[in-house]
Amino acid sequence: MASLYDFTVQDIDDQPRALEEWRGKVLLIVNVASKCGFTPQYEGLEALYRKHGPAGFAVLAFPCDQFGQQEPGDAEEIRNFCSLTYDVSFPLFAKIRVNGPEAEPLYRWLKSEKAGFLGTEAIKWNFTKFLIDRDGNVVRRFAPNDAPAKLEKDIVALLG
């Protein structure tokens, strides 16, 4: 795959969604989990989405159970948790793997585009964030402990 927009992923309802749907938008792609110390970041992610969505920003959340089994639920449990606990309105996708031979192809591409700390590609934990510009380029990779509010200036700069 040469471009972000070449990927198709499964949404939380197990329906295919072409990332072409988000062409021209600034994106924050995040691997999420419901039972993680960083789970309260859903609140900040939702705040960014609501504030900047009208200007062309979207959060795409990919549940992942690879780190401490912190996303044990099925799609319905994940959807309900996100809705009832954090009033999440941004798109949720099917549970994926982000590392290893069964890693979601989108995540293999994201990691190859923007390495992490000390040049490592592997995702270290839940709530690793990839910031994508309007042309589908991976601009920056943020660590799990980078709070969503800390990303706002970078998002605003890309929104222009």
Q: Could you read off the pLDDT of 48-69 as tens digits, one per residue?
A: 999 999 999 999 999 999 999 9
- Residue in 12, 36, 88, 103 annotated catalytic: 36
- How many other β-carbons are positioned within 10 Å of the β-carbon of residue 102? 9
Whether residue 136 is predicted with pLDDT greater than 60 in this model: the reply is yes
What is the pLDDT, as a whole number, of residue 110?
A: 96
Distance between CA atoms of residues 88 and 115, nearest Å: 28
For residue 36, indicate whether it is catalytic: yes
Span 67-88, average pLDDT: 94
Contact by Cβ (8 Å): 66, 97: yes
One-letter amino acid for residue 124 of the chain: K
Confidence of residue 1 (pLDDT cuts 50, 70, 90): low
Q: What is the DSSP letter of 145?
A: T
Contact by Cβ (8 Å): 142, 155: no
Distance between CA atoms of residues 114 and 78, nearest Å: 28
In this structure, the strands spanning 16-18 and 57-63 are unpaired
Min mean pLDDT across 1-5, 97-101, 126-130 is at 1-5
Which homologous superfamily is 4-159 in?
A: Glutaredoxin (3.40.30.10)
Task: Report pLDDT digits (tens) over 13-39.
Answer: 999 999 999 999 999 999 999 999 999
- Average per-residue pLDDT for the chain: 95
Domain ranges (residues) in the chain: 4-159
Distance between CA atoms of residues 26 and 159, nearest Å: 7
Span 2-11, average pLDDT: 94
What are the helix (H) ranges across the chain?
A: 41-52, 75-86, 105-113, 148-159
Torsion, CA 135, CA 154, CA 117, CA 96, rounded to 10: -60
Contact by Cβ (8 Å): 85, 79: no
One-letter amino acid for residue 53 of the chain: G
Whether residue 119 is predicted with pLDDT greater than 80 in this model: the reply is no
Locate tokens 């309802």: which residue?
13
Cβ within 8 Å of residue 120, ≥6 positions away: none
What sign for the dihedral angle of Cα 51, 52, 54, 60? negative
